[in-house]
Amino acid sequence: MSGKVWLVGAGPGDAGLFTLRGKEVLEDADVVVYDALVGQGILSMIPDKAELIFAGKRSGNHYMKQSDTNVVLLEEAKKGKKVVRLKGGDPFLFGRGGEELELLVENNIPFEVVPGITSAFAVPAYNGIPVTHRDFCSSVHIITGHKRADHSYDIDFKALVNTKGTLVFLMGIAALPDICKGLLDAGMDPEIPAAVLEKGTTAAQHRIAATLGTLEEVCSRTEVMTPAIIVVGQVCSLADDFGWYEKRPLAGVKVAVTRPKELVSQLSSMLRKEGAEVLEMPAIAVKPVEDMSPLHQAIKGLENKKYSWIVFTSPSGVRIFFEEMFKLSDVRALAGVKIASIGKGSEKALNGYGLKADFIPSVYDGETLGKELAEQCKAGDNILIPRAAIGNPELPAELSKVEGVTVTDIATYDTVYESSKVIDEHAAMEDGDVDFAVFTSASTVKGFAASLDGLDFSKVKAVCIGKQTRAAAESYGMKTWMAEKATLPALVECVKQAAAELK
């Protein structure tokens, strides 16, 4: 039985502009064939189970010929796989999506097309340029600036000038002189506003403003970063008044988030709302321990009213505990048991099961949790702590100081280090592409360091959730900032403060 191919437009770069349908299809993929222009935030959404095939093209450099890409899609689908062809922008707007479908149609391979937001509209919008405005134009025209090797332009510049509309040239930076000359020779006013928009919708976006007559000369003074688009039209004059992207607190800042994949979304969303570009780089993964018999025995003890307290030290610990408990029992096993949470994150995870924490320490770390919870305990109490195998030893040590208290410390999950299969994390950090790395635990620091072995860690600007995390980062020589409280909102505020300091 044959598989199926989805042509999916990934948009211009910002992960927030990826469509819901595109994300849904991507998460179910067996094979992902992706381009160089797909944003890193979207690449990080590719599921671990998917096979990755790079078919990148940029500025005339082809990793894989188009004809070979077409064959790859066909052959992978013939194997019965769900194949996602992930393309920057929209697959049918100068994305050669039509060519890729031809071979599939010839071989009766089923397919779907998931449109993407095109850079022709999104990038100007992120630069404060509406591509249409009733006071300036009544049409917008999208033109490829790319020309085939040994071919002259097949563009009717005179017709474009006569439209009096906004002109958007994609893939045209190498041909900028030809484009400007073509429009000027066709009679366009040299004083009409124009712009080159670099790396739009990302932290590195930049606008080069000029007139049509001066654009080539202005761009010659600097190295234009690609991808970039060219916009010509009166609407370019609105950019200063309508600009909004740069006004957000973290505009122009790229942040690497190192939390485990299942926990990364909330922090990423909070940072994006402040204007940051977020690169999700999970440095650790949480895996349940193979032998769950000690936890299962403890769950039976809960049913028999053996425990006075159960203590949770992470959202992952909450999730894994309840996954195992529901195999044997239900929440009635917790009747009469008090619950302690190390902080707001674990408490939120408890709320998802309809539970509230009876106790949260004043400072969200293991030592404080142990000291302050010890004050709530009395002789005869039995305390259950289901948590990571490498949990902080200070927590049970402080609780054990209370005479007559029994502590049952059970490893329910292991923390393992991991790195991205698709993003060159080492290059991103070494080249200064990432401004800050955000760490929510000492283990994320260690996982980050392990995956980037050999990196000059003095180049890493680390924003840390607490003192133990900060100490771990500083042990590698990172420059550090620490949140006032061990909460995600405080962590985001710390990123904003650090970014303001370095402006």
Rg, C-alpha atoms of the chain:
27
Q: What one-letter code names the amino acid at 103?
A: L
Residues 463, 481: Cα–Cα separation, whole Å? 5
**Residues 488, 266 contacting (CB under 8 angstroms):** yes
Neighbouring CB atoms inside 10 A of 246's CB total 14
- With tokens 């850079």, the residue in question is 119
Cα(124)–Cα(207) distance, integer angstroms? 9
**Residue pair 361/373 in contact by the 8 Å Cβ criterion:** yes
- CA-CA-CA-CA torsion sign (443, 445, 446, 448): positive
Residue 498, number of CB atoms within 10 A of its CB: 21
Q: Which residues, at least 6 apart from 40, have a Cβ–Cβ distance to it below 8 Å?
A: 279, 423, 428
Q: How far is 7 from 246, CA to CA, in rounded Å? A: 32
Which amino acids are annotated catalytic? 35, 57
Per the listing, tokens 């000059």 go with 456
Report the alpha-carbon distance of residue 408 to residue 420 in Å, rounded.
36
Among 426, 437, 119, which residue's Cα sits nearest to residue 271? 437
Measured in whole angstroms, how far is the alpha carbon of residue 354 from the centre of its chain? Answer: 30
Phi/psi of residue 158, nearest 5 degrees: -60, -40
Euclidean distance between CA atoms 470 and 13, whole angstroms: 31
